[in-house]
Amino acid sequence: MSTAIQSKPRETKTRSALSALRNEGYIPSVVYGYKTESTPIAVRERDLMSTLRESGRNGVIKLEVDGKQLNVVLNDYQEDALKGEIRHADFLAINMTEELEIDVTVNLVGESVGQKEGGVLQQPNHEVKIKVKPSDIPEAFDIDITELQIGESITVGDIRAKSKFEIVNDDDFALVVISSPRTEEEIEGDNLPDAESQPELVGENQGDNKED
């Protein structure tokens, strides 16, 4: 682990106070968990980003709070989609000797047979929840998809027995699907107007109401 990230207490929750913190280069945060009451804090953005680049998204971080060093993981965060900046961070204090449940990014390895035959790869879920000791948290959960055919899928139930990690999700939790390629008829059908949206013909059946 790298040098501990310093934090400072955060007293108020007003919007102006949060904006002032961000303008000073801090991220409004909270830390909670193992032997730690929920405590509002702020950490320097450059310190957190540097640590995440070094240890990874799921790495264990040393965080100093009120002069005490805690082992934490970045449990959750809010990001500004336009600026790519972290707006708020949740740190979970952990016991290094006990397992914890954590979401890990699913990394699909290889190109499937189905893709080579024109199939469409779909990834319904991009994370899987595992139970693991903090020192063994992987940066990503790798799944080999090279043998996957068109119409086939991989769920948690398919890989649970082969995984070296305990997976918390249910067996039917879908991770990857290779769908059949869409036909030209299906694509053309998307471009046809619905019957309800077609305009009514002006003067249609008017002859039925004309007097002799």
Going along the chain from its start, the domains and CATH numbers come out as 5-95 (2.40.240.10), 101-185 (2.170.120.20)
Identify the residue with better confidence: 170 or 17. Answer: 170
**What's the pLDDT score for residue 148?**
96
Burial class (CB in 10 A: 0-12, 13-18, 19+), 157: middle
Identify the weakest region by mean pLDDT among 16-25, 31-40, 181-190: 181-190
Which pLDDT does position 195 carry in this prediction? 53
Residue 25 to residues 22, 84, 135, 155, 194, Cα–Cα distance (Å): 5, 14, 30, 42, 53
Checking if the pLDDT of 42 tops 90, the result is yes
pLDDT tens readout for residues 166-205:
999 999 999 999 999 866 665 565 565 655 555 555 554 5
The answer to whether the CB of 130 falls within 8 A of the CB of 141 is: yes
Residue 207 scores a pLDDT above 70? no
Token digits of residue 212: 């002799």
C-alpha 38/C-alpha 30 separation (Å) is: 7
Residue 16, class by beta-carbon neighbours within 10 Å (0-12 exposed, 13-18 middle, 19+ buried)? exposed
Range 39-54 average pLDDT: 93
For residue 166, the one-letter residue type is: E
Contact 88/45 with Cβ under 8 angstroms? no
Q: Is the confidence at residue 137, as pLDDT, over 70?
A: yes
Residue range 145-157: mean pLDDT, rounded: 96
Backbone φ, ψ for residue 146 (5° rounding): -60, -30
CA dist., res. 44 & res. 55, Å (int): 17
Is the pLDDT reported for residue 211 higher than 50? no
With 70 as the cut, is the pLDDT of residue 212 above it? no
pLDDT at 87: 92
pTM of the model: 0.75
Return the beta strands (E) in the chain as ranges.
Answer: 5-9, 26-33, 36-44, 61-65, 68-80, 85-93, 100-109, 120-122, 127-132, 141-144, 153-155, 166-167, 174-179
117-136 pLDDT, tens digit per residue, is: 999 999 999 999 999 999 99
